[in-house]
Amino acid sequence: MKPPDFYAVLGVARDATAEVIQRAFRTLARKHHPDVSKEPGSDARFKQINEAYDTLKDPQKRKLYDQYGSDWKAAQTAGVNPDEAAARSQRRPRGARATGRAARPGQGFGSPDPNDFSSFSGAGNGGGGNYADMFDELFGRAGGASGGGQRAGAPPNPDDDAFSRGFRAAASALPKGQNLEASVTIPLLDAHRGSSRSFTVNRAGVGVSSIELRIPPGTLDNSMLRLAGQGHPGQGGPGDLLVRVRIAPDPHFTFRLDDQGRGTPDLITQVPLAPWEAALGAKVDVRTLEGVVTLGVPAGSSSGQRLRLRERGFAKRPSGHGDLYAELTIVVPKALTPDQTRLFTELRDASPDFNPRASTS
């Protein structure tokens, strides 16, 4: 559906003064306010009146609207200077090429001035350019039919999808703002379950602002999260905010590394054992991220041996869990009682053939 003409919405001429526009707005606003008007659609009509007045009362917005019509917001986002665009449009002879230079034989037309959006939209709003030139510039053909079945050689409708795509393509050619980088450190459990953090960034021309970062469950250490459009501003739109997530050291768990030294969703936890538990076997409690579980330690276990608890590790993205590896550590009493000394001596004497340092080829 064709966007409404804001001048027609307010019922004023295109050269109406600011005072005339304001009087027209006040009259229409009183008539169509939803609290006053009982006519069907009064709410939508009132919003349309407000939008038209908000655009035309601002001199800079009005200049952009006069140049680009319903595409004025895209031009504003792209950082187009309305005064410069209007001046270029007035200087350009009617029918002149959008780039201001003709093509030489065997050579395509040059790239348009990225700030000269009047080259693309001016024909529809008295700007002096023509749509055939715009399509030739963007798509390499002189005013051919668009995807909507338009007859060949006819000026394209600015509401056609092809025109909108062309306008956006021109805007995207402008340089984006620089990316902004930040970092945040969170506890292991917050990275496992997901959390959010608020912090401030200082963007050029914008100043200090607060950012709310959502950290998805299963975010590994040193992960980079991207917040699109939260970086420094630029003519082609703002850059992105890149947030590096670091996980603080945890007293109970470490990440198991892969062959390239990168962290995985598998975790390692230390499980201390008494000598007799390792020798005879035992059932011991093991801490996990979601609570305590019981682990069966087989008889004859050695220090440094790892027992796997499936899917008891760190959360995976987008779903599932890694494994938890219980690394056994044999702990000997620091001060032996006389009975313990006697029993360990008897164990030594009863094991003359056991040498833990012998080669196990």
Instruction: Pick the closest to residue 170 from 148, 132, 139, 124 (CA basis).
Output: 139
- Single out the residue in 247, 281, 303 at which a domain terminates: 247
Q: What angle do CA 186, 220, 315 make, to 5 degrees?
A: 100
Per-residue pLDDT of 182-195, as tens digits, reads 999 999 999 999 99
Token pair 């600015």 in the structure block, residue = 158
Residues 119 and 262 in one domain: no
Averaging pLDDT over each range in 88-92, 109-113, 118-122, 334-338, which range is the top one? 334-338
Residues 218 and 304 in one domain: no
Q: Is 357 inside a domain boundary?
A: no
**Count of domains forming the chain:** 3
Residues 79 and 144 in one domain: yes
> How are beta strands 207-215 and 195-203 bridged, if at all?
antiparallel
Could you list the residue range(s) of the whole structural domain that residue 317 is in? 254-349
Q: Is 137 inside a domain boundary?
A: yes
User: Using an 8 Å Cβ cutoff, are 295 and 306 in contact?
Assistant: no
- Single out the residue in 225, 247, 269 at which a domain terminates: 247
Which comes out higher in pLDDT, residue 357 or 173? 357
Q: Is 29 inside a domain boundary?
A: yes
Q: Is 361 inside a domain boundary?
A: no
Domain with residue 211: its CATH number is 2.60.260.20
Name the pLDDT band for 81 (thresholds 50, 70, 90).
confident
Q: Is 359 inside a domain boundary?
A: no
Residues 297 and 326 in one domain: yes
State mean pLDDT over 214-221.
95
Q: Is 26 inside a domain boundary?
A: yes
Per-residue pLDDT of 152-168, as tens digits, reads 444 445 555 655 666 56
Domain with residue 149: its CATH number is 1.10.287.110
Averaging pLDDT over each range in 2-11, 38-47, 82-91, 97-106, which range is the top one? 2-11
Q: Is 354 inside a domain boundary?
A: no
Residues making up the chain, counted from first to last: 361
Residues 134 and 219 in one domain: no
Per-residue pLDDT of 198-207, as tens digits, reads 888 888 878 8
Residue-level pLDDT at 44: 84
Beta strands across the sheet bearing 180-186: 180-186, 241-247, 223-227
